[in-house]
Chain A
Amino acid sequence: MSDRMISVTMRINGEKTGPVDLPEDLMLLEYLHEYLNLTGTRYGCGQGVCRACAVIHDGAAGAEPIPACITGVAWANGRSFRTVEGHATRDDDGNVTQLTSVQQAFLDHFSFQCSYCTSGFVAAATALVERLEAAPIAPEDVEDVVLDALNENICRCTGYVRYLEATRDVILNTPGLTRAAVTEENPS
């Protein structure tokens, strides 16, 4: 760990954090765990490959999952992120009152067992749903788009199918995420 420090400010789950002096080579995941006590984001491979550490970056291009374990606070500085703790609706005491449709679907579909990968899947699926709100797709493309969006997230228990089915159901059952299929009667 470097002994050079930088002053860092960022938004996490809508709340401003910092300014705080951090080692310049600290990773975003360590900041979440060690400084903010947000431990729902998981450390998996430590190489940005398994995506257990995925969080949502709310940037100019919209919501995008990024691997927090290899993304440094030097880059995160001044940006805005959402972790798994920030998705559900909470009451004034901080208790969860309403899960998001993605979270609820993962429960309904029994998508996970050990849950180590789950916060990463929530990030990837949520970012996908938000992207589709801006740019709906044809229903017949949903399967491929879901697979593409979740393909990098690794799960060692359940074989992925229930994650994919849950995400597909959310997309097909939420108005505005899909548009009518392109047909001869209904050209796009």
Chain B
Amino acid sequence: MKRVALILAGLLALVVILAGVVYVAFTGPGDIPPASRDLANLSREDRAQMEEAGEYVARAGDCVACHKSPDGLALAGGTAMETPVGSIFGSNITPSRDHGIADYSADDLYRAMVYGITPDGGHLYPAMPYTSYHAISRADSDALWVWLMAQDPIERPNRPAELIFPFNLRPLVAFWNLIFRSDPPDQPVAGLTGADTGNDPVARGRYLVEVLGHCGECHTPRNLAYARKPDAHLQGTVIEDALAPDITPGALARRGWNAADLEDFLAEGLSPQGVMTFRMFPVLSHSTKYLSPEDVSAVAAYLTEGAPAPAPPAPNDGALTDNAPGHALYLGLCAGCHGAEGQGQPFGSVPLRGNTSAMFDDPLNLVRIIREGIPARHLTGYQRMQEMPAFADRLNDDELAALVNYLRQRWGGHDRALSEEDVAGASG
């Protein structure tokens, strides 16, 4: 017995030593290329130009979405990201000496963005999307650094992550990186700024989607280790209690999207398929509405590359009689704004004929929107949508199921009715 314990202890010690060796030898940051230019000796004009470029990189990378404070201060940190193992809070990335990143060099920022490693060797959680930012060009990272350092410092302490054991042990992230961070980056590195940006819109779109936009962080399903599944890239998943839908070219075409629709959706938050909702609305507010028309087109071109012609399901008016309770509820509670034929109203409510949420297999978003409503949205320019009321108090489970099934059957291309349990139980 004693001998078995000794052997086990020895094995454990061996594992710990091996892990230590692996940690020290293999889990540090990879190569850090030299700075794109002499950042210590920028002329006034060059600095101004880099700040402008850096702001655009920050917009395209949507830093603010996670790094703003809950009370709305850009970059001050504190926005919660909910994961299955606890909450992580965006950090203060203003140039505050006590709480922010004032001491970061341009190399330090690159190391954090690309490898998820802080100047003192600490590991960021992959909630910071460094596995996406992994292929950021050095010129873009440098421009971002110049812009970040030109912002006002905000003296707000960081809020520590609240994760359950063993996920609260940051050094373990090193081993996660060993498996899931592909070094060197396997994505094209032509950036937005600098000399090597290239002219291929699809390549630029790919960089904007895969690297800076980090779309896959929400739209790609994750494995048990919470790493994105490489074989299910952008195929959609439930995250933070909402479905981030499948945005592969084929799936978009099946739901009726073409490149022009995507351009409208990204630039204005609205397209014939619907309006930005849940965590996609902040993406519009902080990021996609600031992209240049050329870049919006590039993103749309990349997301629809090789897609077949859009072929959305045809409206099925059989639902009017097949699901009479759902039809009555639709007329009584929805048609006043969305129209008896699902045509919607400009500046008021989206059309439901062709609505993308009715087409998802998962009813989650539809159920949540009906139950919770949507706040009034100031989208971009003059474009806005009125508040949608919450109907949780008006509909029992039976009625909710009838209404959800009606929308799915009439405009979503679904034949089969979901059960009351499937609908009422839909949640993240």
Q: Which residues of A contact B (CB under 8 A)?
A: 2, 4, 6, 24-25, 27, 45, 47-49, 61, 67, 69-77
CA distance A188 to B393 in the complex (A): 28
Q: What residues of chain A lie closer than 8 Å to B337, measured between beta carbons?
A: 47-48, 70
Contact B340 A2 (CB under 8 A): yes
**A61-B396 Cα distance, complex, nearest whole Å:** 13
What residues of chain A lie closer than 8 Å to B345, measured between beta carbons? Answer: 47
A75:B332 contact, CB within 8 angstroms: yes
Given contacts A24-B331, A61-B393, contact A47 B340 (CB under 8 A): no
Please name all residues of chain B whose beta carbon is closer than 8 Å to the beta carbon of A61 when the two chains form the complex: 393
Whether B332 contacts A76 by the Cβ 8 Å rule is yes
Q: A76 — nearest CB in chain B belongs to which residue?
A: B332
Q: Is B287 an interface residue (CB 8 A)?
A: no
A175 to chain B, nearest CB (A): 29
| Minimum Cβ distance to chain B for residue A38 (Å) | 18
CB–CB B332/A74 < 8 A: yes
Q: With the chains together, A6 CA to B329 CA distance in Å?
A: 13
| B328 within 8 A of partner (CB) | yes
By beta carbon, the residue of chain B nearest A6 is B328
Q: Does A25 contact B386, Cβ atoms closer than 8 Å?
A: no
Tell me whether B336 and A72 are in contact (CB under 8 A): yes
Q: Is the pair B332, A71 in contact by a Cβ cutoff of 8 Å? A: yes
Q: Given A47-B386, A49-B386, do A70 and B336 touch, yes or no (CB 8 Å)?
A: yes
- CB neighbours (8 Å) of B348 from chain A are 47
CB-based nearest B residue for A64: B393
- How many residues of chain B have a CB within 8 Å of chain A? 18
Residue on B nearest A25 in the bound complex, by CB: B340
Could you tell me which residues of chain B, from 321 to 356, have a CB within 8 Å of some CB in chain A? 328-329, 331-333, 335-337, 340, 345, 348-349
Instruction: Point out which of A27, A69, A71, A75 has the most chain B C-beta atoms below 10 A from its C-beta.
Output: A75
Q: Say whether A72 contacts B332, CB under 8 Å.
A: yes
Measured in the bound complex, the distance between the Cα atoms of B386 and A75 in whole Å is 22
Give complex CA distance A25, B340 in Å: 6
B393–A71 touching, CB < 8 Å: no
Minimal Cβ-Cβ distance residue in A for B320: A4
A75 and B387 contact, CB distance less than 8 A: no
**What are 22 pairs between A and B in contact, CB < 8 Å?**
A2-B340, A6-B328, A24-B331, A24-B340, A25-B331, A27-B336, A47-B337, A47-B345, A47-B349, A48-B337, A61-B393, A69-B336, A70-B336, A71-B336, A72-B331, A72-B335, A72-B336, A75-B329, A75-B331, A76-B332, A77-B328, A77-B332
Q: How far is the CA of A73 from the CA of B329 in the complex (A)?
A: 10
Interface residue B389 (Cβ < 8 Å from any Cβ of A):
yes
Inter-chain contacts of A49 with B (CB < 8 A):
376, 386-387
Other 18 A-B pairs with CB < 8 A, given A49-B376, A71-B332? A2-B340, A4-B320, A24-B331, A24-B340, A27-B336, A48-B336, A48-B337, A48-B386, A69-B336, A70-B336, A70-B337, A72-B332, A72-B333, A73-B332, A74-B328, A75-B328, A75-B331, A77-B328
Distance in Å: Cβ of B334 to nearest Cβ of chain A: 8
